[in-house]
Amino acid sequence: MSTIGFIGLGQMGSPMAANLIKGGHSLQVFDVNADAVAQMVTLGAVAAQTPGQAASQADFVVTMLPNGDLVRKVIFADDGVISTLSKQALIIDMSTIHPFETDALISDLSLQGFEMMEAPVGRTSVHAIKGELLILAGGTKSQIERAQPLFDCMGSETIDAGGPGKGIRVKIINNYMSIALNALSAEAATLSEAIGLEFEDAMKVMSGTPAGNGHFTTTWPGKVLAGDLSPAFMVDHAHKDLGIALDLANQVNVPMPCGAASRELYSITRAAGRGRQDWTSVFEQLRVTSGLEAKIK
């Protein structure tokens, strides 16, 4: 069992800390919100007055804070984590922050002889309460191994994201995709209603197509990911159908900004001479537009 400094007792941090206590660990907790600290004390935690006090004699320090500026502050402030932390301890930042901030924290700490890994979490506060978070571990093999007992208290699954900084990168990509997809889904569902479809009828169809199942495991593997852009469904046809949907939406006053933006990406793809390629070539084209090297001849 370890001594853990835990900083940030919000919607996520509180249940995570509670589960660490339940797991038998000794917690020294800090939050600017005194109520949150007090409540954790009733569960057996020791209250700290500063981040430094929470870190004192700890084997691990876990941070679960709103953003990277605050993570930096609680670590580097005069009364911050490293004002007391042992150089044998491991800092684990579990917040969702900007990956370049994570990189900078790891490297700035390393210059002063401290070790940090990141382990942002997937799923929601409901899962935090049940100890069923998805842990996206970014660190060396040995750091992850060392932190695993803590992760096992807070989550039901740990994914080794492939090295330091990779955990937060995977987290941001995953969130990007799911958050933007939520908005796109809202567009499709709203248009569906506006043109008189029952949502269930539309869903029934979409649940059997890439509309409902995504492209990563359906259309992409045999095509763009395999380096084959011969058309199963042409960019030109996709572009046409998108045009119909957008015209329709604009006639019935459903704003579809995500879809409208996507049409311009197909337009870029056509301008690059890919109109008769498979629609998955939008990925290859965006790679090229982003300055990455073309992968497919």
Ligand X SMILES: NC(=O)c1ccc[n+]([C@@H]2O[C@H](COP(=O)([O-])OP(=O)(O)OC[C@H]3O[C@@H](n4cnc5c(N)ncnc54)[C@H](O)[C@@H]3O)[C@@H](O)[C@H]2O)c1
Residues classed as catalytic: 171
Return the residue of 87, 244, 294, 297 that touches a copy of itself, per CB under 8 A.
244
Return the residue of 44, 66, 243, 273 that touches ligand X, per CB under 6 A.
66
Judged by CB under 6 A, does residue 70 bind ligand X?
yes
Residue 59 or 108 with smaller CB distance to a copy of itself: 108
d(CA 233, CA 276): 9
Return the residue of 20, 64, 116, 238 that touches ligand X, per CB under 6 A.
64
Residue 57 or 124 with smaller CB distance to a copy of itself: 124
**By CB neighbour count within 10 A (0-12 exposed, 13-18 middle, 19+ buried), where does 164 fall?**
buried
Q: Return the closest-CA partner of residue 32 out of 15, 54, 60, 56.
A: 54
Number of Cβ within a 10 Å radius of residue 145: 12
Residue 185 CB, shortest distance to ligand X, in Å, is 19
Judged by CB under 6 A, does residue 178 bind ligand X?
no
Supply 264's token pair. 């311009």
Residue 26 or 83 with smaller CB distance to a copy of itself: 83
Residue type, 297: K
Judged by CB under 8 A, does residue 23 bind a copy of itself?
no
Return the residue of 38, 189, 228, 296 that touches a copy of itself, per CB under 8 A.
189
Return the residue of 76, 220, 233, 283 that touches ligand X, per CB under 6 A.
233
Judged by CB under 6 A, does residue 155 bind ligand X?
no
Is 68 in contact with 99 (CB distance < 8 Å)?
no
Cα distances (Å, whole numbers) of residue 177 to 104, 118, 172, 173? 25, 20, 8, 6
Judged by CB under 6 A, does residue 23 bind ligand X?
no
Supply 284's token pair. 């290859």
Residue 69 CB, shortest distance to a copy of itself, in Å, is 9
Residue 43 or 260 with smaller CB distance to a copy of itself: 260
Residue 35 or 200 with smaller CB distance to ligand X: 35
Residue 1 CB, shortest distance to a copy of itself, in Å, is 30
Cα distances (Å, whole numbers) of residue 82 to 66, 108, 112, 149, 219? 20, 12, 9, 23, 49
DSSP secondary structure letters along 26-90? EEEEE-S-HHHHHHHHHTTPEE-SSHHHHHTT-SEEEE--SSHHHHHHHHHSTTSGGGT--TT-E
Residue 123 CB, shortest distance to ligand X, in Å, is 7
Is 249 in contact with 255 (CB distance < 8 Å)?
yes
Return the residue of 45, 55, 97, 119 that touches a copy of itself, per CB under 8 A.
97
Residue 41 CB, shortest distance to a copy of itself, in Å, is 26
d(CA 50, CA 61): 13
Residue 273 gets which letter from DSSP?
A: T
Residue 83 CB, shortest distance to a copy of itself, in Å, is 15
Judged by CB under 6 A, does residue 62 bind ligand X?
no
Question: Which secondary-structure segment (H or E) carries 277?
Answer: none
Under the rule (CB under 6 A), what is the footprint of ligand X? Answer: 7-13, 30-33, 36, 64-66, 70, 73-74, 95-96, 121, 124-125, 233, 237
